[in-house]
Amino acid sequence: MTLQITETPPPYIEKKTRRGARKVPLREQLIGWIFVGPFGLVFLAFLVAPLAYALYLSLFRKAMIGGTSFVFLGNYAKAFTDPSFLDGAWFVVRFSLVLIPVQMLISLAMALILDMVTSSFARFSRLMIFLPYAIPAVIGALMWGFLYSKNFGPLGDIFGLFGASAPDFLSNDLVFYGLLNIVTWQWAGYYMIILYAALQGIDPTLYEAARIDGASSWQIVLRIKVPLITPALVLILVFALIGTLQFFNEPQILRDLAAGTIGPDFTPNMYAYQQAFGLANFNYGSAISFALGGVVFVCVYIFLFATRKRGSFLS
């Protein structure tokens, strides 16, 4: 009696890389690069290359006597001891501390109200609240500059009907609040849409269970809705932080209307713009831009690191 042993082929085992992922065939890799290639070229040409060139410029200093010389981090050291840069940065920090909470509270309140209203008026309200975001920042700043103006704006006539003088939101004392109003008006609707979308993603059975347990509408808001949309709140907080630290458009547009109030160094971005394109000091302007970018990166990283555990700063 002979024993016949038939060899069965071993089961197919996919080749895996060192990290356990399936090895992608070369043909699929090429197809992927073909799709990604055009975007990669544009990304390199219009973002990476200009940034690399600006970084290169920031390491040099050009003088009337001696020409251009390599100073390494000398421009950065000058920026962080420059009173104009530091004063602008301090204004932006103070502006952020007031603006971001105001924007978040207004957008959250509007999203909660619209989430409770299901009539056709709610759809119209969403559109009207979102509309300022669709208006270009330049047009919005010009419009508010006209409204604030003492010479040709309507505020003087309105306050004149009551025998009072209109507040000058372009003066030294009130320009902070004038800019605060413009930025809040423009961005609160955009943040509201993000929060409203997050509210729509909550399972309605949670509300029914809470009502069965006797929870009031206010308790549902505080203990169900707000905790469940905290990732969206963190997201808009990061957006607001990045946008506010790069504050430029509104004060630059209102600068001509607020003569003597908004100077060329009102914010760090305006100061970098003035150095680069007003004084042709591209080296120092590039250094200021990268210094500001570093500050923004550090602030955002610290905030995300502090809220990384549960993705929320409220829960």
Lowest mean pLDDT among 10-14, 122-126, 154-158, 262-266: 10-14
Q: Which residues, at least 6 apart from 193, have a Cβ–Cβ distance to it below 8 Å?
A: 126, 130
Contact 63, 69 (CB under 8 A): yes
Per the prediction, the chain carries an average pLDDT of: 84
pLDDT for position 306? 79
**307, 247, 240: which is closest to 100 by C-alpha?**
240
Q: How far is CA 36 from CA 23, 41, 46, 269, 274, in A?
A: 19, 9, 16, 32, 37
**pLDDT the model gives residue 310:** 54
- For the segment 100-134, what is each residue's pLDDT rounded down to a tens digit? 999 999 999 999 988 887 766 777 777 888 888 88
Measured between alpha carbons, how far is 118 from 123 in angstroms, rounded to an integer?
8
CATH class for the domain made up of 74-137+185-312: mainly alpha
Q: In Å, how far are 19, 123, 219, 257, 307 from 313, measured between CA atoms?
A: 33, 30, 19, 40, 6
Cross-strand pairs, 62: 68
**Structure tokens given for 9:** 């082929």
Which amino acid does the sequence have at 188? Answer: A
pLDDT at 8: 52
Burial class (CB in 10 A: 0-12, 13-18, 19+), 41: exposed
pLDDT at 20: 55
Structure token pair of residue 191: 């943040």
**Per-residue pLDDT band at 245 (split at 50, 70, 90):** confident
Segment 183-195, tens digit of pLDDT = 999 999 999 999 9
Average pLDDT over residues 86-91: 91
Angstrom distance (rounded) from CA 13 to CA 173: 73
* pLDDT number for residue 1: 43
Q: How far is Cα 149 from Cα 167, in angstroms, rounded to an integer? A: 10
Distance separating alpha carbons of residues 85 and 78, to the nearest angstrom: 10
* Domain assignments of the chain as residue spans, ordered by start: 74-137+185-312
Single-letter amino acid code for the residue at 156: G
pLDDT confidence of residue 191: 93
For residue 309, the model assigns a pLDDT of 59
Quick one: CA torsion of 60, 63, 65, 66, rounded to 10 degrees?
0
- In this predicted structure, what is the pLDDT of residue 192? 92
Number of residues in the chain: 315
Q: What is the DSSP letter of 150?
A: T
Measured CA to CA, the distance from residue 224 to residue 210 in angstroms comes to: 9
Class of residue 290 by CB neighbours under 10 A (exposed 0-12, middle 13-18, buried 19+): buried
* CB-count exposure of residue 81 (10 Å: 0-12, 13-18, 19+): exposed
Task: Measure the CA–CA gap between 3 and 79, rounded to whole angstroms.
Answer: 87
Beta bridge pairs of residue 70: 60
Check pLDDT > 80 for residue 24. Answer: no
Report CA-CA distances (Å) from 209 to 205, 206, 213, 217, 222.
6, 5, 6, 12, 15
